[in-house]
Structure 1
């Protein structure tokens, strides 16, 4: 699979050191003064060396040092620590990008996800059209448009996002927007902060070397703002918009590494329990997809399909379904998280060794 550019600067590890540049300048001056030589000819080499004065050597060194300093400054990575340069060196030749090669594959992915989670149809349809468009255009990178999923808690918004990522073969990263420093988790924090480091999206790409992961920002309506020691305000919406806009994301500078990356391949999925608290700039950029509450029928169907996929026996599946029906009047029972925990428990019970 071909690799696509991601790190948009030159590493300085290939820049020669001062001694190498000085040696090149010395050889060049020898030739200019009519003393070409071959290192195997000792006498010719000595005559050439004698033609170089101490003043010449001093000039070589000064010019070589100035050249190396300017070359390293121009590379944009001279300020990085050795281990940081080593990490970026691993992706200097590009990273992999996942795509959807055919419309049939797009249809297959969408149909499978819809079968498993039919109540998520509005989200599945958006992803389906994006996948078909990618296949029709022969695009080398599948780019999921930013999505804002609004619906009651526990209906499986994050689960749907992970299922889509798994079908596409791309990694996922989850960001809790309710956390105090969510904006730093997205964009990263510059040196000087106690939590200085790259953000989760960049970390995900560096770790997996895939250009287009899916990043899930959970409960985005609860995001707050933080202030740095200088009194500057940092909020999640600003960090998100800079990374979602195609132009700014295509050459986005990380606050920690202070070098540009192409972050335009990231698929952003934001989830919210309600529209209340959602910032207007985010709403204008990502029209919300309103999702319905789960019904008992939805949960029973999900439990049956997941039970089969996990290889649960019929009695185990029946026990889960009976429990759901018994608690049908409890609002907290109608949650995908509860069903998944019940399935996990049933799977553990069935795999538990039998004591004689």
Structure 2
């Protein structure tokens, strides 16, 4: 699926095709000064101002104090050129990693409100029990199209509900319909703060975060970030006692104005992250920091009913192209009461569909 895009600058870098080497600049200045003085000497000789015995070897026309001045001037020139790129502090290898940013990056845009309606309708048809989340995004998509924005924006969401109702799955389907890459962060399974934004150089495990890595690898400035179980995110402390929390890392990225000038800790360059959209999931409001709630729309979602799971399983099986006997077997499974007392969730139903798909695709053995 493809959608219209707009290219935004995204960064404050200047890519220079050929940054001159200091030695080359010095050599060029030496040749220029030597040639200038040789021409002057030749004119003075022709005019009779100096005799043949006064002529100086061209290589002796540039003296030691001239070389010292040239060295200083060349160094200032190269430093100014490198500083103008915004990458003076980076090694050549690190600069090469930023090559995908050259010329700016695309962001997905919604051209018409009708296009926004189609996306919302498709998402609702797949997961009608997520209507509140779909409606919130729908309003953002329509506003983006109505205002002629270069990209798509909707308020950061926190989807609060029981495990297994499909919060993360809904977010992935939203990214699919918007045709944007995703960044997945497990708030409880990793050092989520550093995983998201990265770690500055000087640390043993210094690296760019998943957000910047995805932007560079996908060459897209507007991924959808999914943060799972945000209410369970812990905190880390450095050897000096400095506290690092996921909320602290998120807050400047959730505010559009600060996100537009966000600085990557690893590359130490400013990036426009204001077009990134956010979907966070939680199993309870307990543990959600107040600063986070004040910047997001927190939606309390209902539990899943068995008939909703049944409808989802059949629709998803059809979407995956499962053969009719497999679809009929799924229908009998739900309608026949075989799983009436089972504790089903969207997660278990998806695993069930994966298994059915594997079995349906196996070749027949004679």
TM-score, normalized by the shorter chain, greater than 0.5: yes
Match of 1:185 in 2: 195
Alignment of 1:45-56 (within 5 A): 51-56=61-66
Partners of 1:11 and 1:85 within 8 A in 2: no
Distance 1:165 1:61 in 2: 54
Larger displacement relative to structure 2 (302-311 or 75-84)? 75-84
Match of 1:327 in 2: 339
What is the number of equivalent residue pairs in this alignment? 346
Please, which of 8, 20, 25 is the counterpart of residue 21 of structure 1?
A: 25
CA displacement, residues 234-293 of structure 1 (integer Å, 9 cap, x when unaligned): 000010111111121111111111111111111111000111111111111113111110
* SS across alignment from 2:135: helix
* SS across alignment from 1:159: helix
Partners of 1:35 and 1:47 within 8 A in 2: no
Please, which of 145, 150, 153 is the counterpart of residue 160 of structure 2?
A: 150
Distance 1:162 1:48 in 2: 72
Please, which of 116, 133, 156 is the counterpart of residue 143 of structure 2?
A: 133
Query: Residues 130 and 2 from structure 1, CA distance in 2 versus in 1: closer, same or farther, beyond 3 angstroms?
Result: closer
Distance 1:323 1:47 in 2: 99
Partners of 2:108 and 2:179 within 8 A in 1: yes
Match of 1:41 in 2: none
Does residue 244 (structure 1) correspond to residue 248 (structure 2)? The answer is no
Does residue 303 (structure 1) correspond to residue 313 (structure 2)? The answer is yes
Partners of 1:110 and 1:125 within 8 A in 2: yes
Match of 1:353 in 2: 363
Larger displacement relative to structure 2 (61-70 or 152-161)? 61-70
Match of 1:172 in 2: 182
> Taking structure 2 as the reference length, what is the TM-score of the superposition?
0.87
* SS across alignment from 1:8: coil
Alignment of 1:1-356 (within 5 A): 3-11=7-15, 14-26=18-30, 29=33, 35=39, 51-73=61-83, 75-324=85-334, 325-330=337-342, 332-333=343-344, 335-356=345-366
> Taking structure 1 as the reference length, what is the TM-score of the superposition?
0.90
Partners of 1:176 and 1:182 within 8 A in 2: yes
* SS across alignment from 1:121: helix
Distance 2:194 2:156 in 1: 20
Instruction: Report the alpha carbon displacement of residue 321 of structure 1 after superposing the two structures with TM.
Output: 3.4
Partners of 2:12 and 2:86 within 8 A in 1: no
- RMSD of the TM alignment (CA)? 2.4
Query: Residues 267 and 64 from structure 1, CA distance in 2 versus in 1: closer, same or farther, beyond 3 angstroms?
Result: same
Q: Which has the larger radius of gyration?
A: 2
Distance 2:165 2:359 in 1: 25
Distance 1:194 1:352 in 2: 47
* SS across alignment from 1:326: coil
* SS across alignment from 1:329: coil
Distance 2:38 2:146 in 1: 64
Query: Residues 2 and 312 from structure 1, CA distance in 2 versus in 1: closer, same or farther, beyond 3 angstroms?
Result: closer
